[in-house]
Amino acid sequence: MTKRSVSTAAAGLALGAALSLLGTAGTAEAAPPSTDGYAATVQAHSNLRDAPNTSSRIWGTTTKVTEAGVACYTRGQYVKVGSYGTDVWYFGTVIDYDIGHIYSNVWMWGGNVNVGADPAPGIPGC
C-alpha cells in the first residue's frame, strides 16, 4: 500500500490553489477534471481513513476546518455523534495547510464533511 500523505510545498500550493478557487461559491460544485471532483470542507479534528468505517486505519486527523476535493460517496458504517448520524462516507483528497500534508485517496465520514446533505446532491456514488 502506498503512503497517502505528501509533504511537498509545491504539491500543496498547486492543489490548494485549485481547491481554493473551487470553494469560493460556498457549496459543493462540479470541479474541473484536474481535481478530485467537488469542493468541500472537512471539520476540525476529523479522522481521514483507509476505508468507510471507524475500525480502518487513520491516515491523519485534520487540525482545523480543511479544504477537500470529494470524488464520490458510499454507504459504510453508520456513525452517530450527538444528534446526527449517517452511513455516508466521502472519498477524496484533503489538504491540511497547518501541518503541510495532502491526504489522497482517503475516506471521510459524512458528518464531518460540510456539503449540506448526506449524500450531497451531484456527488456520484463510488
Residue 36's pLDDT band (cuts 50, 70, 90): low
The single-letter code of the amino acid at 104 is S
Task: Sort residue 106 into left (φ over 0), alpha (ψ -120 to 50) or beta.
Answer: beta
Q: How does the average pLDDT of the chain come out, rounded?
A: 79
Which residues, other chains included, contact 88 with Cβ-Cβ below 8 Å and sequence gap of 6+? 73, 74, 75, 76, 109, 110, 118, 119
Three cell numbers, residue 81: 455523534
Q: Which range among 18-32, 40-54, 65-79, 102-116 shows the weakest confidence by mean pLDDT?
A: 18-32
Strand partners, 75: 88
Nearest to 76 by CA among 121, 118, 29, 42: 118
Q: Give the predicted TM-score (pTM) of the model.
A: 0.72
Res 46 pLDDT > 60: yes
Q: Which residue has the higher pLDDT, 105 or 6?
A: 105
Residue 51's pLDDT band (cuts 50, 70, 90): very high
* pLDDT tens track for 98-114: 888 899 999 999 999 99
